[in-house]
Chain A
């Protein structure tokens, strides 16, 4: 280990295929032992980024460093990182044990130690008796675990995972998410995980890197990404949003006086806005609240009238689609509160919508 230096450092990384820009001016430090997820829609360059770290592609510009050494000209077989492929890529002509031992054999490790480590790795992924099986005779979930064991057994500096859970069914995927997270903690190996599934990213990661069109939009903890998206693109990508238009009046001390959908109100934001600047207020369905018509307590909050379009009972929550009078359609998620006698709204009811004070994110107006 090299102190506080990042285990993987990407500097000004650029990548072009046939003159089509795939990654541009990308800078990222990945710390030792963290679980970091590259999140983005398909075609955003996240898999290319992983392949650049693994060494399957060479960058058109910039550098990839692993453990302080520039790796641009180092072939994949000489990089101390290992990949778990989306399709697992287990060798079909080798038994599970031989698949696991492959990396150790290439590293010239003696048979006795090899056997020992294969046994440990099989136990680690909970497949102690599967060593003699051929990969074709394993279930998808078992193949997945063999693929992880085959990579981890080499004790890499970082484990690169390319959407490894996408072929599993929902239940197994949830379980593997937890197991992967535990594995990362237990082994202390850096995990670089690629996915397009926002929930998966949030469930596992220490940090999430949101990529779009070959650029990093935001890097942060799942909470930061979800609660304080830096732009509309990120906000829209990570979960349902309700976006309201407005214009700033004046900003002072973290409070912005503004008009939102025709309603004067006070917004909490650390960003400062100029007078008459167009703004957008980003809210999540769970930020929204239906206020009783006679409620006058929250005077700073706007009161947006609308009509209930549809209600969806979801067990732990009650979702409502509301057509606001200003023309926007929004989704409201209300959690059940047993202590409260709530009036159940029906389709066609007139309601007044607001949000919990301070839960809003204010962004400058952009054409995204």
Chain B
């Protein structure tokens, strides 16, 4: 084994070891736990049971799952609508502000998202900043709270996940050859038709990637609805957390975890297939 191969072996095996210990093994543990029975005193009762799954095939859980999908999809849509114009403008910018703005998008990545959610609480609570400004402007007479509403949950999720939408969109827009836009204009398309016929299809890979990167984390981001939604707007993540820590029903929590994981894997698979097709079309050119 020469140096190059040894380096390759070490780097790859290191990553595989890490992922096995902290990803695959807990995943398998969770899967195993989901097929066990509940025990009042211990964590689980070691006998085969489908009780966990039976508990979650329940209108209450399905409602939570539906609600999660709704919140995640809504967040994804909000992120897309907010991020696209921003990413487009940013990618087409030619001034030094481009770097500054890109930096501002990146900075939140370096801060704990829990801390950032607390910051949002200070914005949205009864005597928070938004309320104070509204009173000062005379729009409302009394201080208002935005806390514990669905809107607050959307605000929190969108705020937390927005950079994950901006960055893939930014790179997709930046990759577009400016001549494509000019060609569309040259062939008689106005600004809107140029956008719908050329810009939008060409940035589709970025849109899909961004949506995946927002939608999937949004499903499991339990602390945001907890803190901003007051626990009224449960996500699958909240349900799982509660099963483990509050109800102490580990098999049910594990079963919900398995369902969520499978759902995400299915979405990633669909994404992979569509991306593979797009890449194939793009690669033959070069």
- Spell out A's residues near B (CB within 8 Å): 54-56, 75-78, 82-83, 85, 87, 89-93, 102-103, 106-107, 134-137, 150-151, 154
Q: Which of B183, B188, B282, B283 contacts A91 (CB 8 A)?
A: B183
- Which of A92, A134, A154 has its CB near the most chain B CB atoms (within 10 A)? A92
Judged by a CB distance under 8 angstroms, whether B54 is at the interface is no
A154 with B187: CB separation less than 8 A: yes
Q: Which of B177, B180, B187, B282 contacts A103 (CB 8 A)?
A: B187
Q: Which of A83, A89, A90, A136 contacts B284 (CB 8 A)?
A: A136
Judged by a CB distance under 8 angstroms, whether B285 is at the interface is yes
In the complex, chain A residues whose CB is within 8 Å of the CB of B182: 54, 56, 76, 83, 85, 89
Q: How far is the CB of B277 from chain A (nearest CB, A)?
A: 11
Expressed in whole angstroms, the Cα–Cα distance for A103 and B184 within the complex equals 8
Supposing A89-B180, A91-B198 touch, asked if A134 and B185 sit within 8 A by C-beta, the answer is no
Q: Which of A90, A106, A135 contacts B189 (CB 8 A)?
A: A106
B202 with A92: CB separation less than 8 A: yes
In the complex, chain A residues whose CB is within 8 Å of the CB of B187: 77, 82, 102-103, 106, 150-151, 154
Q: Which of A76, A135, A136 contacts B186 (CB 8 A)?
A: A76
* Inter-chain residue pair count (beta carbon < 8 A): 71
A93 with B201: CB separation less than 8 A: yes
Chain B interface mostly helix, strand, loop or mixed? helix
Judged by a CB distance under 8 angstroms, whether B98 is at the interface is no
Judged by a CB distance under 8 angstroms, whether B193 is at the interface is yes
In the complex, chain B residues whose CB is within 8 Å of the CB of A55: 185
A77 with B185: CB separation less than 8 A: yes
B202 with A89: CB separation less than 8 A: no
Q: How far is the CB of A333 from chain B (nearest CB, A)?
A: 41
Expressed in whole angstroms, the Cα–Cα distance for A93 and B283 within the complex equals 12
- Which of A54, A83, A102 has its CB near the most chain B CB atoms (within 10 A)? A102
Expressed in whole angstroms, the Cα–Cα distance for A93 and B282 within the complex equals 9
The chain B residue with its CB closest to the CB of A76 is B185
Judged by a CB distance under 8 angstroms, whether B115 is at the interface is no
A85 with B183: CB separation less than 8 A: yes
Expressed in whole angstroms, the Cα–Cα distance for A92 and B177 within the complex equals 11
B282 with A83: CB separation less than 8 A: no
The contact sample of 30 A-B pairs, CB cut-off 8 A, is: A54-B182, A55-B185, A56-B182, A56-B185, A56-B186, A75-B185, A75-B190, A76-B186, A77-B185, A77-B190, A78-B188, A83-B183, A83-B186, A85-B179, A85-B182, A85-B183, A87-B179, A89-B180, A89-B182, A91-B180, A91-B183, A91-B184, A91-B198, A91-B202, A93-B281, A102-B197, A106-B187, A134-B284, A136-B284, A136-B285
